[in-house]
Amino acid sequence: MSTRALPLYITIGIFLLAYLLCWIQFPNMLSTRVIGNLLTDNAYLGIVAVGMTMVILSGGIDLSVGAVIAFSGVFIAVLLRDTGLHPLIVFTLLLMLTTAFGAAMGFLIDRLAMPAFIVTLAGMFLARGAAYMLSIESVPITHPFYQTLQGAYYLMPGKGRLTLIGVLMVLTFVAGMIVAHRTRFGTSVYALGGGETTARLMGVRQGRTTIMVYAFSGLMAGMAGIVFSIYTGSGYSLATVGTELTAIAAVVIGGTLLTGGAGYMFGTLIGVLTMGLIQTYIVFDGTLSSWWTKIVIGILLLAFILLQKGLLRLSQMRMAQQRGQA
Partner 1 sequence: MLLSIRSLNKMFPGTRALDGVDFDLQAGEVHALLGENGAGKSTLIKCLTGAYRRDGGTVLLEGTEIAPQSTVQAQDLGIGTVYQEVNLLPNLTVAQNLMFGREPRRFGLIDNRAMRAQARRMLQAYGLDLNVDRNLGSYSVAIQQIIAIARAAALSGKVLILDEPTASLDAQEVQLVFDVVRGLRERGLGIIFVSHFLDQVFDLTDRVTVLRNGRKIVTENTRDLNRVSLIGHMLGRELEDATSHDTINRGPRPPMLRFEGIGSRGVIAPFDLAVGQGEVVGLAGLLGSGRTETAELLFGLRNAATGSARDQSGKIDISNPRAGIRNGFGFAPEDRKTDGIVADLSIRENITLGLQARRGWARPIPRDQQNRLADDYIKRLDIRTTGREKRIGELSGGNQQKVVLARWLAMNPRFLILDEPTRGIDVGAHAEIVRLIHELTDQGMSLLVISSEIDELIAVSDRVIVLRDRRHVAELTGDLMNPDQIMKAIAATDAQTKELA
Q: Between residues 147 and 183, which has the closer beta carbon with respect to partner 1?
A: 183
Residue 193 within binding range of partner 1, rule CB under 8 A: yes
Q: What is the closest distance, in whole angstroms, from the C-beta atom of residue 53 to partner 1 in the complex?
A: 15
Q: Between residues 88 and 326, which has the closer beta carbon with respect to partner 1?
A: 326
Stretch that binds partner 1, among 79-87, 89-97, 149-157, 201-209 (CB under 8 A): 201-209
Among 184, 208, 294, 309, binds partner 1 (CB under 8 A): 184
Q: Between residues 166 and 186, which has the closer beta carbon with respect to partner 1?
A: 186
Residue 51 within binding range of partner 1, rule CB under 8 A: no
Residue 206 within binding range of partner 1, rule CB under 8 A: no
Q: Which of residues 229-288 bind partner 1 (CB under 8 A)?
A: 261-262
Distance CA 261, CA 96 (A): 28
Residue 202 within binding range of partner 1, rule CB under 8 A: yes
Residue 151 within binding range of partner 1, rule CB under 8 A: no
Distance CA 94, CA 321 (A): 54
Residues in the chain: 326
Tell me the residue type at 316: Q
Contact (Cβ atoms closer than 8 angstroms) between residue 240 and residue 66: yes
Distance CA 276, CA 297 (A): 10
Q: Is residue 54 exposed (0-12), middle (13-18) or buried (19+ Cβ within 10 Å)?
A: buried
- Integer-rounded Cα Rg, in Å, for the chain is 20
Contact (Cβ atoms closer than 8 angstroms) between residue 265 and residue 180: yes
Give the footprint of partner 1 on this chain (CB under 8 A). Answer: 2-4, 178, 182-184, 187, 190-191, 193-195, 198-203, 261-262, 315, 318-319, 322-323, 326
